[in-house]
């Protein structure tokens, strides 16, 4: 059997996240001296209730090699092969930890893939990997597909503020927007594994429209092979509306909705909405 290990920044459909082949390694969120594992010691609901009153803001902690090694030994001892699919190496040291773990034992049948993505982009890749596991594909075939796929996924997101991203140190090239956004909403993307600026829009409504216009321009394909994914932080109604409009425009029903968890919520704050699109085969 092929096992797939992802980290807790991955946000996919429940049936995929709960698939027997899938295991989630939790990253941690740190409130002062209290370290809480994402999805284990703190739920999404508890995190969003706690965040507004947190001073200073919480931080996050990456997965470490020991988080992976026990699972790798368990799976390989049972005769399984393993694919580890992580958040972008430019956004977290989790990828490096996974590589160290995979190389800790010579001959382990383990592949580590840098998704160059995060959240629902990572979720779309996991969805594809699980489908191929179920179809009987080999580890090499799945890794090759994921490596191609990561170049084709487009992710754009709207934030209420850049404060969380800046203070968390994950702002990347979007630093160019800092200081100019008192009257604007930032439109950002993940490109080549890092956060990049897309546009500054004067209202949230215009920002959400710009998300749709940008994605429709970037991806010309239309039809049921197109896959959509959305995530949101306390903005379910708006995200649902955006998703319905995009599904109609892309002429597809293949879409899932997720909610942002602690490991990412720390860096984007409430009100964030993200959209990922994969044109399909």
Residue range 96-114: average pLDDT? 96
Q: What CATH architecture applies to the domain 2-27+62-149?
A: 3-Layer(aba) Sandwich (3.40)
Cα–Cα distance measured from residue 28 to residue 42, given in angstroms and rounded to the nearest whole number: 9
Asked if 124 and 227 touch (Cβ cutoff 8 Å), the reply is: yes
Taking the model in full, what pTM does it have? 0.92
Tell me what pLDDT residue 173 has: 45
Least confident stretch, 82-96, 112-126, 171-185: 171-185
Tell me what pLDDT residue 167 has: 64
Total residue length of the chain: 281
Cα–Cα distance measured from residue 41 to residue 37, given in angstroms and rounded to the nearest whole number: 5
Taking the domain 154-278, which CATH number applies?
Answer: 3.30.1180.10
Pick the closest to residue 12 from 135, 129, 112, 136 (CA basis): 129
Handedness of CA 139, 277, 40, 14 (dihedral sign): negative
Above 70 in pLDDT, residue 176? no
How many other C-beta atoms are found inside a 10 Å radius of the C-beta of residue 37? 18
Residue range 144-162: average pLDDT? 92
Residue range 38-65: average pLDDT? 90
Tell me what pLDDT residue 271 has: 92
Least confident stretch, 69-73, 171-175, 203-207, 233-237: 171-175
Domain locations along the chain: 2-27+62-149, 154-278
């Amino acid at each position: 059997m092929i096992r797939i290990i992802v980290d807790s920044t991955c946000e996919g459909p429940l049936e995929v996240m709960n698939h027997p082949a899938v295991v989630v390694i939790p990253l941690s969120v740190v409130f002062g001296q209290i370290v809480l594992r994402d999805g284990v010691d703190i739920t999404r609901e508890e995190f969003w209730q706690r965040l507004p009153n947190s001073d200073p803001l919480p931080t996050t902690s990456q997965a470490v090699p020991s988080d992976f090694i026990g699972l790798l030994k368990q799976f390989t001892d049972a005769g399984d092969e393993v694919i580890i699919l992580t958040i972008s190496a430019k956004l977290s040291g989790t990828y490096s930890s996974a590589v160290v773990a995979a190389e800790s034992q010579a001959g382990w049948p383990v592949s580590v893939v840098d998704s160059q993505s995060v959240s629902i982009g990572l979720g779309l890749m996991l969805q594809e990997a699980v489908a191929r596991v179920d179809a009987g594909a080999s580890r090499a075939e799945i890794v090759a597909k994921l490596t191609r796929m990561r170049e084709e996924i487009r992710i754009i997101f709207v934030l209420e503020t850049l404060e969380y991203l800046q203070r968390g140190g994950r702002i990347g090239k979007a630093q160019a927007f800092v200081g100019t956004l008192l009257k604007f909403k930032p439109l950002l993307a993940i490109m080549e594994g890092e956060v990049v600026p897309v546009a500054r829009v004067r209202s949230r409504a215009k920002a959400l429209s710009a998300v749709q216009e940008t994605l429709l321009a970037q991806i010309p394909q239309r039809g049921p092979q197109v896959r959509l994914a959305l995530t949101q932080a306390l903005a379910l109604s708006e995200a649902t509306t955006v998703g319905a409009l995009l599904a109609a425009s892309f002429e597809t029903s293949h879409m899932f909705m997720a909610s942002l968890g602690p490991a990412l919520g720390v860096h984007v704050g409430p009100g964030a909405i993200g959209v990922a699109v994969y044109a399909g085969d």
